[in-house]
Amino acid sequence: MINDIDVARVTPAQLNQLVHISRKTFTDAFAHLNNPDDMQAFLTDHLTAESLGTEMSNPESEFYFVVEDNQPIAFFKINTGKAQTELKADDGFEIERIYVLKEHQGKKLGHRIMNHCLDMALQRNKAYVWLGVWEHNANAIRFYENNGFVVFDKHTFLLGNDLQTDLMLKLELTKY
Protein backbone atom coordinates (compact mmCIF):
# COMPACT_ATOMS: atom_id res chain seq x y z
CA MET A 1 0.00 0.00 0.00
CA ILE A 2 1.26 3.50 -0.87
CA ASN A 3 -0.42 6.13 1.33
CA ASP A 4 -3.95 4.61 1.05
CA ILE A 5 -3.40 3.46 -2.52
CA ASP A 6 -2.98 -0.22 -3.18
CA VAL A 7 0.03 -1.56 -5.06
CA ALA A 8 -0.33 -5.03 -6.54
CA ARG A 9 1.89 -7.08 -8.79
CA VAL A 10 0.38 -7.45 -12.26
CA THR A 11 -0.69 -11.02 -12.97
CA PRO A 12 -0.84 -12.72 -16.38
CA ALA A 13 -4.65 -12.50 -16.18
CA GLN A 14 -4.28 -8.69 -16.13
CA LEU A 15 -2.15 -8.53 -19.28
CA ASN A 16 -4.83 -6.76 -21.33
CA GLN A 17 -5.18 -4.09 -18.62
CA LEU A 18 -1.40 -3.65 -18.68
CA VAL A 19 -1.42 -3.25 -22.47
CA HIS A 20 -4.20 -0.67 -22.26
CA ILE A 21 -2.62 1.49 -19.52
CA SER A 22 0.84 1.17 -21.13
CA ARG A 23 -0.38 2.38 -24.50
CA LYS A 24 -2.55 5.16 -23.05
CA THR A 25 0.05 6.61 -20.70
CA PHE A 26 2.86 6.39 -23.27
CA THR A 27 0.72 8.05 -25.93
CA ASP A 28 -0.48 10.77 -23.55
CA ALA A 29 3.10 11.49 -22.46
CA PHE A 30 4.88 11.48 -25.81
CA ALA A 31 2.56 11.61 -28.85
CA HIS A 32 2.54 15.42 -29.00
CA LEU A 33 6.37 15.45 -29.05
CA ASN A 34 7.00 12.80 -31.69
CA ASN A 35 6.22 11.84 -35.26
CA PRO A 36 2.91 9.92 -35.39
CA ASP A 37 4.43 7.17 -37.57
CA ASP A 38 7.25 6.61 -35.08
CA MET A 39 4.77 6.51 -32.20
CA GLN A 40 2.57 3.99 -34.01
CA ALA A 41 5.55 1.80 -34.86
CA PHE A 42 6.65 1.80 -31.22
CA LEU A 43 3.15 0.92 -29.99
CA THR A 44 2.88 -1.86 -32.56
CA ASP A 45 6.31 -3.31 -31.80
CA HIS A 46 6.65 -2.82 -28.05
CA LEU A 47 3.35 -2.25 -26.29
CA THR A 48 1.41 -5.34 -27.32
CA ALA A 49 0.10 -8.31 -25.38
CA GLU A 50 2.86 -10.43 -26.92
CA SER A 51 5.75 -8.10 -26.07
CA LEU A 52 4.51 -7.18 -22.58
CA GLY A 53 3.70 -10.84 -21.89
CA THR A 54 7.28 -11.72 -22.76
CA GLU A 55 8.55 -9.01 -20.41
CA MET A 56 6.24 -10.28 -17.64
CA SER A 57 7.54 -13.81 -18.03
CA ASN A 58 11.09 -12.77 -17.12
CA PRO A 59 11.56 -13.74 -13.45
CA GLU A 60 13.82 -10.71 -12.91
CA SER A 61 11.20 -8.21 -14.15
CA GLU A 62 8.10 -7.16 -12.23
CA PHE A 63 5.15 -4.98 -13.19
CA TYR A 64 2.94 -3.38 -10.54
CA PHE A 65 -0.38 -1.56 -10.74
CA VAL A 66 -1.31 1.28 -8.44
CA VAL A 67 -5.01 0.72 -7.89
CA GLU A 68 -7.73 3.08 -6.73
CA ASP A 69 -11.37 1.97 -6.51
CA ASN A 70 -10.37 -1.39 -8.04
CA GLN A 71 -8.98 0.31 -11.16
CA PRO A 72 -5.34 0.70 -12.22
CA ILE A 73 -4.44 4.39 -12.22
CA ALA A 74 -0.67 3.98 -12.62
CA PHE A 75 1.92 1.29 -13.14
CA PHE A 76 5.61 0.73 -12.78
CA LYS A 77 8.14 -1.85 -13.88
CA ILE A 78 11.32 -2.85 -12.11
CA ASN A 79 14.22 -5.01 -13.31
CA THR A 80 17.02 -6.74 -11.46
CA GLY A 81 19.91 -8.95 -12.53
CA LYS A 82 20.15 -9.67 -16.24
CA ALA A 83 16.70 -8.19 -16.93
CA GLN A 84 18.12 -4.69 -16.51
CA THR A 85 18.33 -2.89 -19.84
CA GLU A 86 21.89 -1.72 -19.08
CA LEU A 87 24.41 -2.26 -16.28
CA LYS A 88 23.01 -5.72 -15.34
CA ALA A 89 24.91 -5.76 -12.03
CA ASP A 90 23.58 -7.93 -9.22
CA ASP A 91 23.59 -4.99 -6.81
CA GLY A 92 21.62 -2.75 -9.21
CA PHE A 93 17.88 -2.11 -9.34
CA GLU A 94 16.36 -0.56 -12.46
CA ILE A 95 13.10 1.35 -12.51
CA GLU A 96 12.28 0.93 -16.17
CA ARG A 97 8.85 2.57 -16.18
CA ILE A 98 6.68 4.76 -14.00
CA TYR A 99 3.51 5.97 -15.69
CA VAL A 100 0.43 7.61 -14.19
CA LEU A 101 -2.85 8.12 -16.06
CA LYS A 102 -3.22 11.79 -17.00
CA GLU A 103 -6.36 12.29 -14.91
CA HIS A 104 -4.49 11.10 -11.79
CA GLN A 105 -1.39 13.23 -12.23
CA GLY A 106 -0.80 15.99 -9.71
CA LYS A 107 -1.63 13.68 -6.77
CA LYS A 108 2.04 13.04 -5.93
CA LEU A 109 1.69 9.44 -7.13
CA GLY A 110 5.07 9.55 -8.86
CA HIS A 111 6.74 10.51 -5.60
CA ARG A 112 4.92 7.79 -3.67
CA ILE A 113 5.75 5.19 -6.34
CA MET A 114 9.40 6.28 -6.28
CA ASN A 115 9.56 5.86 -2.49
CA HIS A 116 7.95 2.43 -2.82
CA CYS A 117 10.56 1.40 -5.42
CA LEU A 118 13.41 2.67 -3.26
CA ASP A 119 12.06 0.68 -0.31
CA MET A 120 11.83 -2.42 -2.53
CA ALA A 121 15.47 -1.96 -3.57
CA LEU A 122 16.59 -1.57 0.03
CA GLN A 123 14.65 -4.67 1.08
CA ARG A 124 16.49 -6.59 -1.67
CA ASN A 125 19.86 -5.26 -0.46
CA LYS A 126 20.61 -3.37 -3.68
CA ALA A 127 23.41 -0.79 -3.67
CA TYR A 128 21.83 1.61 -6.14
CA VAL A 129 18.73 2.36 -8.20
CA TRP A 130 19.01 3.60 -11.75
CA LEU A 131 16.75 4.52 -14.66
CA GLY A 132 16.71 6.03 -18.12
CA VAL A 133 14.72 9.10 -19.10
CA TRP A 134 14.35 10.83 -22.47
CA GLU A 135 16.64 13.86 -22.63
CA HIS A 136 13.68 16.07 -23.68
CA ASN A 137 11.49 15.04 -20.74
CA ALA A 138 12.47 17.99 -18.54
CA ASN A 139 9.73 17.41 -15.94
CA ALA A 140 10.80 13.80 -15.36
CA ILE A 141 14.48 14.72 -15.21
CA ARG A 142 13.72 17.42 -12.63
CA PHE A 143 11.58 14.94 -10.64
CA TYR A 144 14.37 12.35 -10.53
CA GLU A 145 17.04 14.92 -9.68
CA ASN A 146 14.82 16.25 -6.87
CA ASN A 147 14.74 12.68 -5.57
CA GLY A 148 18.53 12.52 -5.43
CA PHE A 149 19.31 10.88 -8.78
CA VAL A 150 22.31 12.10 -10.77
CA VAL A 151 23.08 11.69 -14.46
CA PHE A 152 25.91 9.21 -15.00
CA ASP A 153 25.65 8.22 -18.67
CA LYS A 154 23.48 8.16 -21.80
CA HIS A 155 22.05 5.47 -24.03
CA THR A 156 19.96 5.41 -27.18
CA PHE A 157 16.30 4.49 -27.47
CA LEU A 158 14.63 3.71 -30.77
CA LEU A 159 11.12 5.13 -31.14
CA GLY A 160 9.98 3.81 -34.48
CA ASN A 161 12.71 5.09 -36.80
CA ASP A 162 13.75 7.95 -34.50
CA LEU A 163 16.96 7.26 -32.58
CA GLN A 164 16.56 9.21 -29.32
CA THR A 165 18.88 9.75 -26.38
CA ASP A 166 18.00 8.77 -22.83
CA LEU A 167 19.90 10.13 -19.88
CA MET A 168 20.81 7.45 -17.37
CA LEU A 169 20.39 8.52 -13.74
CA LYS A 170 21.50 6.75 -10.60
CA LEU A 171 20.85 6.98 -6.87
CA GLU A 172 23.28 5.32 -4.49
CA LEU A 173 21.10 3.85 -1.75
CA THR A 174 23.56 4.84 0.95
CA LYS A 175 22.37 8.41 0.23
CA TYR A 176 18.67 7.53 0.49
Give the residue numbers annotated as catalytic, written as ranges: 144
Let me know: does 143 contact 149? Beta carbons within 8 Å. no
Rounded to whole angstroms, the Cα distance separating 61 from 6 reads: 20
Give yes or no for a contact between 80 and 93, defined as CB atoms under 8 angstroms apart. Answer: yes
Please give, one letter per residue, the 3-state secondary structure of 100-122. ECHHHCCCCHHHHHHHHHHHHHH
Alpha-carbon torsion (155, 133, 169, 172), positive or negative: negative
